[in-house]
Chains A and B, each alone.
Chain A
Amino acid sequence: MDKANVSETEERTFQARIDAEEKIEPKDWMPEKYRRNLIRQISQHAHSEVIGEQPEGNWITRAPSLERKAILMAKVQDEAGHGLYLYAAAETLGVTREELIDRLHTGASKYASIFNYPSLTWADIGAIGWLVDSAAIVNQVSLQNTSYGPYARAMVRICKEESFHQRQGYNIMMTLMKGAKLQREMAQDALDRWWWPSLMMFGPHDGESAHSAQSMKWKIKRRSNDDLRQQFVDQAVQQAEAIGLVVPDPDLKWNDARGHYDFGAIDWQEFERVISGNGPCNRQRLAHHKNAHDEGAWVREAMAAHEAKQRSKARDVA
């Protein structure tokens, strides 16, 4: 067989495996586009976990009690860990951590646009945990069945840890809603600002999504953007009502025939503006990450020097 035939056969075997709901593992043959598509998606996911530490980290020193502070630190620590699981999963595809970080810094690789919004009040920490983590979970639960083994297994681990995140956020909102008028207003204001960006987290409508069709065929994605977004809305509306919050959407209405909430139009121009670098905090987020990376260089160098010294000592003994 010539080379073209070989890769055609391999491609057929590959797709048959996917169609049969089998996982693809790192050493399997895979189409170059599948590999690139996965690296793009997993690294964006990893960057989102890491950049997402910034709006929350912003409130660690100002948390209203020692307990809330400890909880928030534990959550931010989890996000760093999730970033690590995901970078490691991406690296099984033959890309290095340095390349991934470099792509983040040059803007070649994106992260969730929602983290380009500022966290202005303590209630924002509640809204982020409740809405942003809920949206992430809806997406991640479906990704537990993604076709690439290491990504699927990372998702299982992450989902397990994530439920504490949304609950602590919801608990902050619930506590504020039981408080004074000012506190209730603060919670409502946070919901007003975070609601629409949360809906945008699921990405463009199915018809407009650049990578969706191929990703669904390869089962990298398992459910469509609109499908996931609807599930999120249905859950969140009920949760908002239960504690007396009002979802900031005049078109929001239960649709008996569909068995779902209908909701208003998303401002896609805003989404485009923020994802392409012009949201309220894009420059700050990237500058902060670059800065932390550069300022940490001496630590990485010192660790490498220590390693080299230990190795040379061990050689001398031998």
Chain B
Amino acid sequence: MADQMQLYEVFVRSRRGLDHKHVGSLHADDSAQALEYARDVYTRRGEGVSIWVVASRDITASQESDCESFYDPLDDKPYRHAAMYELPEGVDSL
């Protein structure tokens, strides 16, 4: 329905150089309004230098309950971790 507000997810970059991080969500009529609301709701104490808002319905997410099948082929590969390879005596900078 057009007259119902949409849910937006809010991401805040706390400092230059860092990723935007999810901080929560809010309702708004459009993205410009969501941005202003996000400023007022989530960054009242200088929590960030930049905000992203994304309509929640535009987010496609995997489910934790599907982990087993979703990540299945990735879990049995210990060789992807550096710790699997032993180093000889005296070598430490690898």
Contacts and interface: CB of A to CB of B under 8 A. Distances in A.
Given A153-B19, A167-B85, A70 B93 contact: no
A149 B20 CA distance: 11
B50 A242 contact: no
Interface string A164-181: 101110110010000000
A71 interface: yes
Contacts of A17: 16
A137 to B, nearest CB: 9
Interface string A226-246: 000000000100110011000
B89 interface: yes
A242 B19 contact: no
Interface residues of A, number: 27
Interface in A50-85: 67, 70-71, 74, 78
Contact of B81 (A24, A70, A164): A164
Interface residues of B, number: 20
B94 interface: yes
A17 B15 CA distance: 13
B85 A152 contact: no
A163 interface: yes
Contact of A239 (B80, B82, B93): B93
Contact of A70 (B79, B85, B89, B94): B79
Contacts of B50: 25
A66 B16 CA distance: 45
Contacts of A189: none
A170 B93 CA distance: 12
Nearest to A148: B17
Contacts of A24: 16
B19 A168 contact: no
B46 interface: no
B88 A243 contact: yes
A318 to B, nearest CB: 14
B57 interface: no
Interface in B56-83: 77, 79-82
Given A23-B17, A242-B88, A235 B79 contact: no
Contacts of B82: 163-164, 167
Contacts of B87: 167, 170
Nearest to A174: B88
A149 B17 contact: yes
Interface in A205-237: 235
A166 B94 contact: yes
Contacts of A67: 79
B2 to A, nearest CB: 14
Nearest to A28: B16
Contacts of B77: 70, 74
Given A23-B16, A25-B16, A149-B16, A171 B91 contact: no
A235 B93 CA distance: 7
A48 interface: no
Contacts of B19: 153
B17 A242 contact: no
A65 to B, nearest CB: 12
A84 B21 CA distance: 21
A138 to B, nearest CB: 10
A71 B79 CA distance: 6
B93 A238 contact: yes
5 contacts: A23-B16, A25-B17, A164-B85, A239-B93, A242-B91
Interface of B: 13, 16-17, 19, 50, 77, 79-82, 84-91, 93-94
- 8 tightest A-B contacts by CB? A23-B17, A167-B85, A163-B82, A23-B16, A164-B82, A171-B85, A71-B79, A235-B93
Given A168-B79, A242-B88, A242-B89, 14 more contacts: A23-B16, A25-B13, A25-B50, A71-B79, A74-B79, A149-B16, A152-B17, A164-B80, A167-B87, A170-B91, A170-B94, A238-B93, A239-B94, A242-B91
